[in-house]
Amino acid sequence: MAESQPLPFDPIAEARRHWRERWGDEPARPMAAVTSIMRAQQILLARLNELLRPHGLTFPRYETLMLLVFSRRGALPVGKMGERLQVHRTSMTHMADRLEEAGLVTRVSHEQDRRSTLIAITPAGRELAERATETLNAAGFAMEPLSADQQEAITELLTSVRRDEGDFAA
């Protein structure tokens, strides 16, 4: 895949200028903020996926493995995994299928609820999650060039958005 060249201008600043001309300062400010967040998310996801590529993982697959690593029994129902990762059950099932094909998770029957199937991390999945975590930790989760204080400020700001949306119990 060919790497694209940087634009000779900031497209978000240009969009903001157009917004301001057409609708005024107030709508231009939040539009620029949202667009900046969305673009930063795309950049960070690309960086994380690049770091994880040598491990044969994408960031969503890594998150799935880590959810299982941190679970008490190393296994969770698909529905609960979807809730915690905030993805649709169908997407979670597809993710589990890919991880199972790679030998990183397995499906097991739920001991108390025969209607439910659990996704369980395998020893190979745990080992890969550990190696991938070492890579991400060493790279500071691709958050350069932000300082520790800036990273904390971003987390605090976005936590308030998530809290106000009811993303978690306050």
One DSSP character per residue, the chain reads -PPPPPPSS-HHHHHHHHHHHHH-HHHHHHHHHHHHHHHHHHHHHHHHHHHHGGGT--HHHHHHHHHHHHSSSSEEEHHHHHHHHT--HHHHHHHHHHHHHTTSEEEEE-SS-TT-EEEEE-HHHHHHHHHHHHHHHHTGGG-TT--HHHHHHHHHHHHHHHHHHTSS--
Distance CA 94, CA 98 (A): 6
The CATH classification number of 57-140 equals 1.10.10.10
- Whole-number pLDDT of residue 110: 78
Beta bridge partners of 76: 119
- Whole-number pLDDT of residue 84: 94
Residues of the chain with pLDDT under 70: 1-3
Q: Which amino acid is at 154?
A: I
Q: Is the bond preceding 145 in cis, omega lying within 30 degrees of 0?
A: yes
Q: Residue ranges of the domains in the chain?
A: 10-55, 57-140
- Whole-number pLDDT of residue 90: 93
Query: Cβ(118)–Cβ(75) under 8 Å?
Result: yes
